[in-house]
Amino acid sequence: MGGVDLADMPIELYCSNLKTRKWYMRIFYYVLDSAVVNAWLIYRRHCWQSNDQPMPLLKFKTSIACSLGYPDTPRRRPGRPLSLESEGNPPQTIPTQPTLTPTDVRHDGYNHFPEFGKDQERCQICQKKTKILCSECLGIALCLVPERNCFLSYHRK
């Protein structure tokens, strides 16, 4: 019983406060919150073992949301709309300025493919002009020419 109360404490702290009347959705959000808190507890233990300072739970949750391309965060996955536009409203403009990709996404080695952009942009590494963009790190321009491979340098740890 005491263990259950202890486990509920961090879940209650930043619970997904989504107003829903459906009882099964409440269970769903509770399970989701428990999973995040459990992940954070494992992460915290891992940090202590390697003498690192763990990030607080709120920051941990925010970084997960950011990595998943939650709206209002810099990252966006293809196919998931950035704005919740409704009919009649003009679509929200996507910022043209390159936004920083979270480092865990940048180095995850998943789905990062070179794509051709319309215009020349400044390379994130060497600042030279290039039309190559990363398909996953949206808006990030990187050189991919025989002389230099900034695309590889950017994604390698």
Q: CB within 8 A of 39, min separation 6: which ones?
A: 60
User: Which lies closer to Zn ion via its Cβ, residue 75 or residue 112?
Assistant: 112
Spatial contact of 142 and 134, defined as CB atoms under 8 Å apart: yes
CB of 111 to Zn ion, least distance (A): 8
For residues 79 to 118, the per-residue mask of contacts with Zn ion, x marking binding by CB under 5 A and - elsewhere, is ---------------------------------x------
The dihedral formed by the CA atoms of 26, 32, 37 and 38, expressed in degrees to the nearest 10: 120
Per-residue interface string for the shown chain with Zn ion, residues 116-155, x marking contact by CB under 5 A: -------x-xx-------x-xx-----x------x-----
Q: Which residue has the tokens 């970084």?
A: 63
Strands (E) across 4-135 are located at 114-122, 129-134
Say how many residues touch Zn ion, by CB under 5 A. Answer: 9
Over the window 25 to 54, marking each residue x when it contacts Zn ion by CB under 5 A and - when it does not, the resulting string is: ------------------------------
Contact between 102 and 110 (Cβ < 8 Å)? no
Contacts to Zn ion by CB under 5 A: 112, 123, 125-126, 134, 136-137, 143, 150
